[in-house]
Amino acid sequence: MVRNPWFETVAEAQRRAKRRLPNMVYGALLAGSERGRTVEDNVGAFAELGFAPRVVGHHADRSLGRTILGMDASFPVMISPTGVQAVHPEGEVAVARAAAARGIPMGLSSFASKPVEEVVAANADTAFQIYWSGSRDTIVQRMERARAAGCRALILTLDWSFSNGRDWGSPVIPQKVDLRTMAKLAPDVLPHPGWLWRFARARSLPDLTTPNLTPHGGSAPTFFGAYGEWMQTTPPNWDDVGWLAKEWGGPFLLKGVARVDDALRAADAGVSAISVSNHGGNNLDTTPATIRLLPAIAEAVGDHVEVLLDGGVRRGGDVAKALALGAHGVLVGRAYLWGLAANGQAGVENVLDILRGGLDSAVLGLGRASVDELAPDDLVVPAGFTRTLGAGQVPPKASGD
């Protein structure tokens, strides 16, 4: 047992998560596909950016707050939706409580292990995330359940191409976790008694079903059942995106934009926000880091939609760098999962405190009074750092597009 549960960096949270979690669970949380170049670049690119600090004229009082998707955020960070959270028995409910305690919005995956109703009860500022999976009627049924639960925004995730295979190996994920499966996996589980004890104390087993995808009158599909439906669904076109944004009728985030032309098309389709994202490095490997793609996209559409960034954020300074390059806010994923694994809800709060403290320190050192004042001249941007994809004119709208 860790005598002092507090940790001072996200890196330490990850180290503790690795010690605490069974290898198969920890391996499932690791981002990356194929060579893992994109996930490395997502994190490493932030370190290539430097700060340009000011030495006099610092502000004793600094404003960090913003709204994200119409929801108040005490600092410009939102919980990124991630799938089945078998790292802790309270899963997304613990994350939602932590986010509420720190005053930031919660993103809930449709592949989550906890029902949307329980998560909204823990954090009223919740955005529900869906994939384009199943028929339009099925998608509307899931959306309306989220609306009835009180979700305040909708997220459509499209940055996933079913890439598979990792050079370092992919974890074994069972169809379901029952006593027979636990016995089979005992050699991996027993060396991690802290993880096992948490579930034993909660009198539960890790749940690999997806309750938010439960059909009317049916039972929750397994993760692999839901994944199979998603894989077999015809991918959406821009008319589909516009239709869903109109059906929702409120704050709507399209997650997964990497190109300027896609950002422009998204704005034309009626979305209210986009996230510059490569699915945490889990999409097409060798896609550039999102922070490299952000400036061109923010310049193209930042006056029309909220531009968020998702990918590689591990420090409050990373948040400041993203804001300086045009992001309205950022989403964090792996960072809070490490905190959840390390110390449950308190661990997530710990991670959020690290990010807020680092952001406040950067705003102070840069001589700014508010996150709204952060600008490119607060940074040292190396020559050739940025990447601009799809900067040509958006092609005419094709039939059925």
Q: What residues are annotated to the active site?
A: 279
Alpha carbon distance 339, 351 (integer Å): 6
Query: Dihedral sign, CA of 132, 136, 138, 143?
Result: positive
In 3-state terms, what secondary structure has residue 329?
Answer: strand
Secondary structure (DSSP) of 271-295: -SEEEE--GGGTSSTTPPPHHHHHH
Between strands 71-73 and 329-332, the pairing is: unpaired
For 267, other C-beta atoms within 10 Å of its C-beta total 18
CB-count burial class (<10 Å; 0-12, 13-18, 19+) for 229: middle
Cα separation, 171 vs 182, whole angstroms: 15
Apex CA 27: angle with CA 26 and CA 29, to 5°?
A: 70
Distance (Å, rounded) from C-alpha 21 to C-alpha 246? 42
Q: Which residue spans within 291-335 are E strands per DSSP?
A: 306-310, 329-332
By CB atoms closer than 10 A (0-12, 13-18, 19+), residue 138 is middle
Among 390, 68, 383, 132, CA closest to 258: 390
Q: Are 313 and 355 in contact (CB under 8 A)?
A: yes
**Distance separating alpha carbons of residues 130 and 115, to the nearest angstrom:** 14
